[in-house]
Structure 1
Amino acid sequence: MKKLMALIAFVLMSVSISSLAKKIYADVQVTDINPTSNFTWQRENKNTPKYPIELARTGVRGCAILSFDISQSGKTENVEIINSLPKKSIGKYSRRMLKKWQWVPVSTEGKSTVEKRTLRLDFCMGGESTELSQKYCIQQTKLACS
């Protein structure tokens, strides 16, 4: 009987704690460091990248600047972290995220070539809505990532 009562108390505490949990709004902004209209490749999935759950759980925000190549087959290769804040976590997750991206040619004319790119990824959290989180993140992209 004591075990049953302890289990019921635990379940009730868990339910009341989870109901108090605040919803977290997060956004990831992708910015080309050297924007141009002459890119050979574009991201296949143009949706906003998903905020890594591990970073969201720990409340980590920041930015990373990465340099990489897009191969002739549209794969991300040779990813190099140029800078990231905070150093370890944002850089690691940015690199992992970028390596999964697939690229498609901008034009169907001509031969696809290897392209060198540099991107900035901003990871932002906060606000009371997705729109507010996106607004914060756009403001963050104007700050130095060093």
Structure 2
Amino acid sequence: MNMKKALVVTAGAVLSYSLVFEVIANQKLRLKTDVIATVIESSGADDGAWQRAFPETLTMTRGMERAGVKGCGIFNLQVDAQGNVQDVDTDIVVPSFGIRRHARDYLESWQWEPTGQSGTVKVRLDFCIGGATNDEVREICEYQATLPCSNKRS
């Protein structure tokens, strides 16, 4: 008789454990995303440095989040005297799939502080995914921005 009770308790423990595991497995963990823009160099402005007119927080597109796209790109922007982006030229994008188009969309929509003359701006964009909080993903992205944006393996 004691043997049957022990078997029931064990079966109950396994059943409750599997239910808890199933509930946890069905909860989707949504990692946070972040985008950091770094002006590498600029020319043509009176003081030698262009600044964005409206430096809003950048966000990743839903498609990039779903695809898990992360990486970096370096771009050269041609800015006119009114601060509008006229042309975007790509130096490098890693990985080559998924970032180029979205980065160009960001960059082409930016407005720069007008200086009365045209110039060029070299910008690095880092797209990051990771961490459970905004602070964690910002820390990850800030670290990524210190690494070389290159597809060369060392």
TM range (shorter): 0.7 to 0.9
Tell me the number of residue pairs that the alignment of Structure 1 and Structure 2 aligns.
Answer: 125
* Contact 2:42–2:50 under 8 Å retained in 1: no
SS in 2 for 1:78: strand
The answer to whether residue 136 in structure 2 is matched with residue 132 in structure 1 is yes
After TM superposition, give the deviation of residue 39 of structure 1 in Å.
3.8
Runs of 4+ aligned residues of structure 1 deviating over 4 Å after TM superposition are none
Aligned-pair CA distance for 1:35? 6.7
Give yes or no for contact 2:86–2:108 (8 Å, CA) kept in 1.
yes
Residue type of the partner of 2:65?
A
Q: Which residue does the alignment assign to 1:26? A: 33
Q: Deviations over 1:89-114 (max 9, x none)?
A: 11121111100111223xxxxx6110
SS of 1:122's equivalent in the other structure is strand
Answer yes or no: is the 8 Å Cα contact 1:40–1:112 preserved in 2. Answer: no
AA in 1 matched with 2:145: T
Alpha-carbon distance in 1 for matches of 2:147, 2:132: 22
Q: Which residue of 2 aligns with 1:72?
A: 81
Larger Rg: 2
Work out whether residues 42 and 121 of structure 2, in 8 Å CA contact, stay in contact via their aligned partners in 1: no
Computed over aligned residues only, the root mean square deviation of the Cα atoms, in angstroms, reads 2.2
Q: Structure 2, unaligned stretches of length 5 or more?
A: 1-22
Give 1:21 deviation, angstroms: 2.0
Distance in 2, matches of 1:115 and 1:66, equals 14
Ranges in structure 1 where 5+ consecutive residues have no aligned partner = 1-15, 106-110
Please give the alpha-carbon distance, in whole angstroms, between the structure 2 residues aligned to 1:29 and 1:40.
Answer: 18
Aligned partners of 1:40 and 1:113 also within 8 Å: no
**Alpha carbons of structure 1 residues 95 and 69: separation in structure 2 relative to 1, 3 Å:** same
Give the deviation of 1:122 after TM superposition. 0.1
* Aligned mates of 1:55, 1:84 — CA distance in 2: 15
Q: Which residue, 23, 46, 51 being the options, matches 1:42? A: 51
Aligned counterparts of 1:75 and 1:115: Cα–Cα separation in 2:
10
Indicate the larger mover: 32-41 or 75-84.
32-41
Task: Give 1:116's match in structure 2, choosing from 108, 116, 120.
Answer: 120
Q: Partners of 2:101 and 2:93 in 1: how far apart?
A: 9
- Residue in 1 that maps onto 2:90: 81
